[in-house]
Chain A
């Protein structure tokens, strides 16, 4: 996928991965891998940005004697997902237009 487009979509994907329940770095990467190419290093700045903007919050829990950081979806993050989904119709029409013009 084009880098710029991927960048916009990746953030939404990370938020979506947190919809059902809070998750942690490694699991987010493995949950998203079937759908989009994401590396651990690409994920870090996204998580950091989402935390800074209040879209996710973090908490830590002990796991096997070490600390694991969990990310939880917050209301601003939920709103971003809703915004993305509401754009689905518009996106579909744009694809259709490009496809038609391309013929």
Chain B
């Protein structure tokens, strides 16, 4: 029997198991075959040594029915003892860089008060997950094997990759997915963060990050209470809403065919650009310090098209077309 036939028949014999259990068995044998072949074993001989799929399934089903209740092992050898869930991929050491790469799956980054950096995700038959932790870099890679895509998966409801980041985490974060939404909330000391998706909403809240960049396409971006040094946000065909975003050096919001609305925005260099859509903003600061360039067509504009003096160290650039620009400066209370 070859690998494919064996795995298919084994999978069929295990139909009565839960998806999770069946996936465990399949992963075990798939891995066993890969390791065996990698070590020079003959595939057919290796597989015949497993026994027949029926025998294997019979043994596993017998065990499952007399199984001991699941007990989570407590890790007492680390400074913050944390229980690792069976669907969790947790870091064991110090992490300074988190990299999450997913496909067609929503990602949610949330803060936890204690415990390690951890990803919660229950892979199904169609998911392939790779996870590694090396030299402080925590990487979680998810792809989908489309040829194993079951129609069942379409109706099993949206799944999310949840990333737990401890409030003390101070490092870099890179999250990428596609065709899905991306949310991140309450990240306190990031040095850099990159959020990428496509055809999905991007929501970033309560984040302090030196260098922040976020991009999506065909999706709205919702920013709230963000702070840092530089921030660049890009989307297309979607609106950008920014509430209370203060970035010392640069704040750039780019979209097309979508409105930009920024309330209480603060930065030395602001750039808002879109097409065919309105830009409205309240900027905290003194307009006299800003070299202002603004452009729109066929619509009203509260800003001067160009008001630049050599001694101005800050800048504001607003560009759109066929829509109004409604931007005002409000004095800061500091």
Contact = CB atoms under 8 A, between A and B. Distances in A.
B154 interface: no
Contacts of B5: none
B31 A67 contact: yes
Contact of B132 (A51, A61, A75): A61
Contacts of A55: 73
B84 A57 contact: yes
Chain A interface mostly helix, strand, loop or mixed? mixed
A60 B50 CA distance: 23
Nearest to B51: A41
18 contacts: A25-B28, A26-B35, A26-B39, A41-B55, A44-B28, A45-B59, A45-B63, A51-B86, A52-B70, A54-B71, A62-B132, A62-B139, A65-B130, A66-B34, A66-B130, A67-B31, A67-B128, A76-B73
Given A39-B51, A52-B71, A57-B73, 20 more contacts: A26-B32, A26-B39, A30-B39, A39-B49, A40-B29, A41-B51, A41-B55, A44-B56, A44-B60, A45-B60, A47-B28, A48-B60, A49-B63, A54-B71, A56-B73, A57-B84, A62-B130, A62-B132, A67-B27, A75-B74
Interface in B106-139: 128-133, 139
A41 B129 contact: no
B76 interface: yes
B162 interface: no
Nearest to A39: B49
B72 interface: yes
Contacts of B15: none
B25 A44 contact: yes
Interface string B50-89: 1100011001100100011111111110000000101001
A41 B63 CA distance: 12
A92 B276 CA distance: 88
Given A45-B63, A60-B89, A67-B128, A53 B71 contact: yes
B49 A40 contact: yes
Contacts, number: 95
A71 B150 CA distance: 30
Chain B interface mostly helix, strand, loop or mixed? mixed
Interface in B128-183: 128-133, 139, 141
B38 interface: yes
Interface in A1-42: 24-27, 30, 39-41
A40 B131 contact: no
Contact of B35 (A41, A51, A52, A68): A68
A78 B38 CA distance: 31
Contacts of A76: 73
B38 A64 contact: yes
B117 to A, nearest CB: 13
